[in-house]
C-alpha cells in the first residue's frame, strides 16, 4: 500500500545527520589525508635525493627564464618602435602640407619648359650630327634626382619647410627625354606659395643651364605653359581623417603592449626555481595532507546527506504512514548519555530538551492518548505500543507514559510485531494499538507493514508517537 505520495527533505535534519557522523568522517578523512600527504611527501623527498631530477628541473627553469626574458625584450622593442611611429606620425600631421590644405580650396600649379637646340638635318649628307636634346633633358632630371635641387629650393623659399619629404608633397619635377620637356608641378594652400614654388624651381633649373651646356651642348629653355588654379578635392578630407586616425590606432596598440608588459612583469613571481628542498618536500606533504583531509571530509558529509535522503527512515511526523493521527512528539532529553561533541551538535540544532520540557511533552502525549482511548475504545481500555525500535527503549516509554495516562487505561509494550510472535499476539489481544517511531532509526517500510498487519486484525489504531525529535 502507498502511504505517502511525496517525500519532504528537512535540510536542518539532514545537516544534523551529517554532523553526528563526525567520527566516521574524521577517521576516513584522516586516513585519506595520511595516504595522499604521505605519497606526496615521499615523492618530493625522492626528488630531493635524485640528482637527475634536480638537474632536469634546473634546465626547465633556465629555459623558462630565457623565454621570459625574450618575451620582455620583444615587448620593449614593440613599445619603442610604436612610440617612434607615433612621433613620426604626429610630426607629419604638424608639418605636412597635405594636412594643412582646405579640401574645398587647394591650389595647384604647373609649368612646362621646352629644351631646344640648334640641331638641323643636313640634306644630302650621309653623316648627321647627333641631337643632344635628350641627353640635356636627362641631365636636368639627374640634377633634380640628386637631392641638391630640393635642398636648394628649401633654402630659397620665403616660408619654412621642415624636411625634404614635406617639400616633395608640394613640389614635383619630371622630365620627358622624348619630347624634350621638363614639367614642374606644385601644390599649396595659397596661390602665392604655389607661384613661389614653381618660380623657384624654374630659377634653379635655369641656373644649372650653363653647367649642363658646358658638359653636353648649348641649348635654350622656353616656358611653353603656366597654369595656377584652385579646386575642390573631395578625397582630401578622407585622407586627412585617416592620417589622424592612424595616431589613435597606434596609441591603442601601444596601450595593449603596455598592458602585456605589466602582465609580463607579474610573471616574474612565477619563475621560481623548481628544485624541491627537504623543507619544501615536508611543507608540500603537510599542505596536501590538510587539503585531502578537508576535501574528504566534505565528500563524506555529502555521502551522509545522500544517505539521509535515500535511507527510507522516519525523519519526523511527516514520514509516518499516511493517515495516522499524531498523538505526540517526544524530544531527546538531557538524561540521555551523550559525549561532548554529540551533545554540542545536538545543542546547536536544538535537539536536546531539558528534563522539564521532555516531561511536559510526555504528559501532553499521555493526556492526548487518554482522550483518544475514552472516545474510541469501548470496554477494556488496554493499549499496545508497537515499534521497530529497541524493546528496552519502548518499555521505558511505556513506563513514562503510564505515569500520566488516565486511570483505567493500561499500556503494554508489544515491540516489533513483525519479528516477534509473542508481541504480535500481545498486540492482537489489546483493545487498541499505538505506533511508536524513533526519528532517524525507524524504517518507513517496516512501519507500513505493521499498519497493514494491524488492519488485517481489524484493530483500532489510535495514532502514532514519534520519539527523539528536536526540542525546538
Q: Domain extents for the chain?
A: 8-99+234-311, 105-231, 317-469
What is the structure's pLDDT at 344? 67
What is the structure's pLDDT at 257? 94
Q: What is the DSSP string of 142-191?
A: HHHHTSHHHHHHHHH-SS----HHHHHHHEEEEEETTTTEEEEEEEESSH
Alpha carbons 81 and 248: distance in angstroms, whole number: 15
Assess whether pLDDT exceeds 60 at residue 128. no
> What sign does the dihedral 54-58-61-67 (CA atoms) show?
negative
User: Which has more confidence, 205 or 332?
Assistant: 205
What is the structure's pLDDT at 125? 47
Helices (H) and strands (E) in the chain, counts: 16, 10
- The 10s digit of each residue's pLDDT in 64-108 is 888 999 999 999 999 999 999 999 999 999 988 889 889 998 999
Which fold is adopted by the domain 105-231? TATA-Binding Protein (3.30.310)
What is the structure's pLDDT at 459? 83
State mean pLDDT over 291-299: 84
Alpha carbons 384 and 461: distance in angstroms, whole number: 10
Alpha carbons 339 and 20: distance in angstroms, whole number: 11
What is the structure's pLDDT at 54? 74
User: Which has more confidence, 21 or 359?
Assistant: 359
Proportion of the chain above pLDDT 90, given as a percent: 33
- The 10s digit of each residue's pLDDT in 331-373 is 876 555 555 676 666 666 665 557 778 888 888 888 998 899 8
What is the structure's pLDDT at 144? 93
State mean pLDDT over 24-45: 82
- Specify the CATH class of 317-469 in words: alpha beta
Neighbours of 249 (CB within 10 A): 12
Q: What is the DSSP string of 356-379?
A: HHHHHHHHHHHHHHHHHHHHH--S
What is the structure's pLDDT at 457? 78
Assess whether pLDDT exceeds 90 at residue 198. yes
State mean pLDDT over 116-124: 64
Contact between 170 and 161 (Cβ < 8 Å): yes
Amino acid at each position: 500500500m502507498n502511504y505517502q505520495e511525496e517525500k519532504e527533505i528537512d535540510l536542518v535534519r539532514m545537516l544534523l545527520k551529517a554532523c553526528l557522523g563526525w567520527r566516521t568522517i574524521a577517521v576516513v578523512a584522516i586516513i585519506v589525508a595520511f595516504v595522499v600527504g604521505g605519497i606526496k611527501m615521499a615523492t618530493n623527498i625522492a626528488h630531493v635525493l635524485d640528482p637527475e631530477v634536480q638537474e632536469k628541473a634546473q634546465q626547465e627553469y633556465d629555459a623558462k627564464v630565457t623565454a621570459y626574458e625574450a618575451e620582455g625584450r620583444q615587448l620593449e622593442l614593440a613599445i619603442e618602435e610604436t612610440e617612434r611611429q607615433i612621433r613620426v606620425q604626429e610630426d607629419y600631421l604638424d608639418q605636412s602640407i597635405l594636412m594643412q590644405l582646405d579640401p574645398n580650396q587647394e591650389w595647384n600649379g604647373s609649368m612646362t619648359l621646352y629644351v631646344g637646340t640648334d640641331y638641323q638635318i643636313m640634306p644630302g649628307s650621309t653623316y648627321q650630327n647627333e641631337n643632344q636634346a635628350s641627353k640635356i633633358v636627362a641631365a636636368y632630371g639627374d640634377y633634380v634626382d640628386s637631392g641638391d635641387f630640393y635642398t636648394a629650393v628649401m633654402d630659397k623659399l620665403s616660408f619654412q619647410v621642415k624636411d625634404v619629404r614635406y617639400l616633395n608633397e608640394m613640389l614635383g619635377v619630371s622630365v620627358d627625354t622624348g619630347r624634350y620637356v621638363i614639367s614642374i608641378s606644385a601644390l599649396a594652400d595659397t596661390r602665392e606659395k604655389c607661384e613661389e614654388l614653381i618660380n623657384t624651381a624654374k630659377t634653379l633649373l635655369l641656373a644649372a643651364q650653363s653647367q649642363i651646356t658646358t658638359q653636353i651642348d648649348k641649348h635654350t629653355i622656353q616656358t611653353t605653359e603656366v597654369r595656377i588654379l584652385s579646386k575642390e578635392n573631395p578625397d582630401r578630407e578622407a585622407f586627412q581623417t585617416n592620417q589622424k586616425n592612424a595616431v589613435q590606432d597606434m596609441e591603442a596598440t601601444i596601450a595593449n603592449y603596455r598592458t602585456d608588459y605589466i602582465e609580463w612583469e607579474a610573471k616574474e613571481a612565477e619563475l621560481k626555481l623548481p628544485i624541491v628542498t627537504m623543507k619544501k618536500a615536508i611543507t608540500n606533504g603537510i599542505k596536501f595532507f590538510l587539503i585531502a583531509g578537508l576535501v574528504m571530509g566534505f565528500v563524506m558529509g555529502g555521502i551522509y546527506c545522500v544517505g539521509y535522503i535515500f535511507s527510507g527512515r522516519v525523519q519526523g511526523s511527516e514520514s509516518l504512514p499516511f493517515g495516522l493521527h499524531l498523538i505526540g512528539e517526544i524530544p531527546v532529553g538531557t538524561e540521555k548519555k551523550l559525549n561532548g561533541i554529540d551533545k554540542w551538535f545536538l545543542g546547536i540544532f536544538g535537539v536536546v530538551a531539558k528534563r522539564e520540557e521532555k516531561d511536559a511533552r510526555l504528559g501532553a502525549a499521555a493526556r492526548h492518548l487518554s482522550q483518544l482511548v475514552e472516545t474510541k475504545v469501548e470496554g477494556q481500555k488496554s493499549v499496545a505500543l508497537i515499534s521497530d525500535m529497541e524493546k528496552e527503549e519502548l518499555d521505558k516509554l511505556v513506563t513514562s507514559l503510564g505515569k500520566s495516562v488516565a486511570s483505567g487505561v493500561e499500556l503494554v509494550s508489544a515491540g516489533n510485531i513483525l519479528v516477534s510472535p509473542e508481541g504480535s499476539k500481545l498486540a492482537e489481544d489489546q483493545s487498541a494499538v499505538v505506533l511508536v517511531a524513533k526519528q532517524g532509526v525507524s524504517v518507513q517500510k517496516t512501519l507500513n507493514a505493521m499498519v497493514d498487519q494491524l488492519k488485517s486484525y481489524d484493530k483500532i489504531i489510535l495514532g502514532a508517537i514519534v520519539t527523539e525529535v528536536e526540542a525546538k
